[in-house]
Chain A
Amino acid sequence: MSQTDIQSDIQKTILKQQKAEDRRKLMLNGILLVLLLLAPFVMYPVFLMKILCFALFAVAFNLLFGFTGLLSFGHAAFLATGGYTTGYLLSNFSGLTTEMGIIAGTLVAAVLGLGFALLSIRRQGIYFAMVTLALAQLVFFFFVQSPFTGGEDGLHGVPRGELFGLINLEDNLNMYYFVLVVFLACYLLVQRIVSSPYGHVLKAIKQNEPRAVSLGYKVDRYKVLAFVISATLAGLAGSMKSVVFQLASLNDAHWHMSGEVILMTLVGGVGTLLGPVLGATLVVNIEYQLGQGPLRDWVDPILGAIFVLTVLSFRSGIVGEVQKFVRKNMG
């Protein structure tokens, strides 16, 4: 057998393996999609929408933390900015259709994200995290003080309105499918970003920033763009959340929320695509189920214990561990 034959054989096997993996992924995604489409007939739609909004928020956060290696401790600011902007616009300008309000909220969050990014990426590691936290606290105080947010009481009575002036979103099912479509679009976008050449540069920055610099990449620009995309998607999550719940509140701006999204991402699996989605589903469910049961006094300690356990014993999160297992046993 000649050298070239061996090479082509190896290539063929690799291709085969890849195809098998692609098929597996496609099947998994297909099953998930069907489940998501049928879910509102089994479960309570508003609760599902809450999960989807937080899942989008976690996916956005993960793009920055999991794929670029930047730990932002201020993502609540974007969630809240999106929510308050959309809520304020939709409650005060009845001419706006729902999607216009959502787009406006998302854009404002994007601009804020650009501001955050330009200031914070000058520092690395813990300093980066602290700068984002400090900026997010400034945003929090802005929302506490501004009369239009209703301060502690929150902004209430946001109308859901009609999508494109046609589809009545007061109906929970319509609202659910709208949120689902937006969520899936964003999820696919992040998937596309991560597998694009740009995404590979982000991963390179995460693994070894000096080497990425020495290869000639303008690292700062890549980071700023990743930050802005992440902030935009987080803002979109907040905008949709304010429409779903018809309110925006200070909870979204509080640093607890920035912590919660870290928890969701870590538990689900940092640096994986499905991880944050699973993490968000899990955390929202734990909060809800425990809040109803006899353990309701213990929600925070339990979440804390899960966090510690994840960090100590399975650092790659649920999805990460499953992937490892699959690779080991089925590769």
Chain B
Amino acid sequence: MTTSPKAPIVSVDALSVAYRSGGREVPVVREVSLEVSPGRTLALVGESGSGKSTVAATLLGHLRHGSRITGGRVAVDGKDVFALAARELRRLRGGTVAMVAQNAGHALTPSMRIGRQIAEAGGEVPVTDLLEQVRLERPRELARRYPHELSGGQQQRVAIAMAIAARPKVLVLDEPTTGLDVITQRGVLDLVGALREELGLAAVLVSHDLGVVARMADEVCVLSAGRVVEAAPTRRLFAAPADPYTRRLLASVPRIADAGLAVVGEDGMREIRPRADSAGAVDVVDVREMTIDYGASRAVDGVSFSVRRGEVLALVGESGSGKSTIAWSLAGLREPSGGTMGAASGGGAGGSSGDSSGDSSGDGSGGPSDARSGGASGGASGGSRGGLSEGASGGSRGGASGGASGGSPGGPRGGASDSPRGGSPEGASGGSRGSSPGGSRGGASVGSSGGSSGGPRGGSSEGASGGPRGSSSGGDGDLSAPARRRPLALRRTVQLVFQNADTSLNPRRSVGDAVRRPLRFFGTAGSRGEAASRARQLITDVRLEPDFADRLPAQLSGGQRQRIGIARALAGEPDLLIADEITTALDVSVQADVLCLLDDLRRERELACLFISHDLAVVRGIADRVVVLWHGVVVEEGPTDAVFAAPGHPYTKALLAAALEPDPEAEGAAAPAEEWADAAEPGALWDDLGGGHRVRRWRPTDG
């Protein structure tokens, strides 16, 4: 790359664009000026609505329906883009400037073979050469495929091939890797970087991902509400951001080195919140040897994990690793083909803690768990772990009386405290516990053993027989049943927050209604009036004004909608909240807020959370433990800090190496990924690194 400044090939001068809406002109871009020289890369950075994509599209003379230029000019290669005749403009688009659109899956025409689509873009370069140039294998065969027959990464490469087909001088990349997972993203970015040098392209990169920007750009232009707030060389900008907005934006980006969740102040100062301590908590959900099939292909193969009360467990992996499939299955949307999933509350919890402490005697393992959860219901009850943990959870959801009655009479014997609860009214109102499988089932098994032999042995016998594993046979605690066949109380224990809050809320119902519905459905709110006031309370709980209840989803921003998604899930008063890529579609600062909210909620409500994400930096901040999935198998799991500090599995290492930090000084060239093969054998699956950190066995295969 040359450092001597050449004449800029792109120059935008005081450009203003407005959008007509309801008779009013809404400015979207205000007096933006920028220049790009050949061989250089300029990044347009900003949050959604900042006008960055609009500016990028003007380089190709494109405006969205209803928008118009209200001032300034755009010149590419010496020509005023918006003064060109139609034929000239087509020549500019076909030859001088090319665009790689945000979502290649949507940017490729579904009814055309990709070979033809690339050929159409013009240029003398044969299609197969282009496909080879974007590092796609078997280009001949690929050219005959339709877009839907390609993976997301392949589609993006095809889109790039299409863009460079006519050998343009300027490449406009509009969020080229947003939808891709880290390893694919790294591959695509490396490809763009290489092509840029090979072909001497000037590039304009639009991105909200500062990690991508730090890696790719020479200069950065930060946009906010259509205005340039800061423009500077990349290194300078990241090292010493001058504008407060830039500072806040930079601070909001989660870092892979953060030891906890970063809380960003108004002034852009970051403060790392220490992790919540959930180490000794009881398990809420326990998954053993789960397998899920899609037709003949196995999406999830023998996955086991458990989530503790008040803990955030992250499932990490690329797309296709099975992480979302697991979430959907837990939520009852997809039936697993094997293994067990238990909502282990009450007795089940007792069993699992017995389990974790190595099937020690009931007394021994009961003690610590009491100390933690016993506050509400009285630690005095001693060895009755089952009863106690139930009481505690009852208390946390407001059923203090349930906790008390569960704890005190049952004192010495878990069984005694459990059995009355199964059928008692407050068991039902207390929620999952009373009628839920875990509770009543565990209770029953404790009851029988407790009844015959008394307190101390209750726990241990349960650990052996009535634990989470036993829950599979128990019937109604069984989460492997699809949602519609789960009893209401069990259905409530697991709630899902969707990735796209905007598509998962009914656009014609007020958001208050969306929250009220589960309240009425699960019977958590008795009357209509109570439901309405509870809904407002829940909306306040997710840090929104209660008046938001009357709005329609379309009247909310993305982050606000996602909060409503969380409130809706909380309305069921779940034990386990599944957050499936909930911040992926959000801007960084909004993402920081939503993550912060999630962290608050799990602390306040002792909520267990299964956090699914492909963004390792986010995971690092929010999660207590991490499970790394690869092609449907767990390759590594352990406490977040341990896994990030010393990843044991080559796949985890590759994921970490592919993650991009918002720091141009970061080591760019990742070490070539180790070649490896699975070496797990039945009976010797794991290498235990201690402290719950274990790695699936593998062996290097480089020849």
- Physical interaction between A and B: no
Could you tell me which B residues sit within 8 Å of A by CB distance? Answer: none
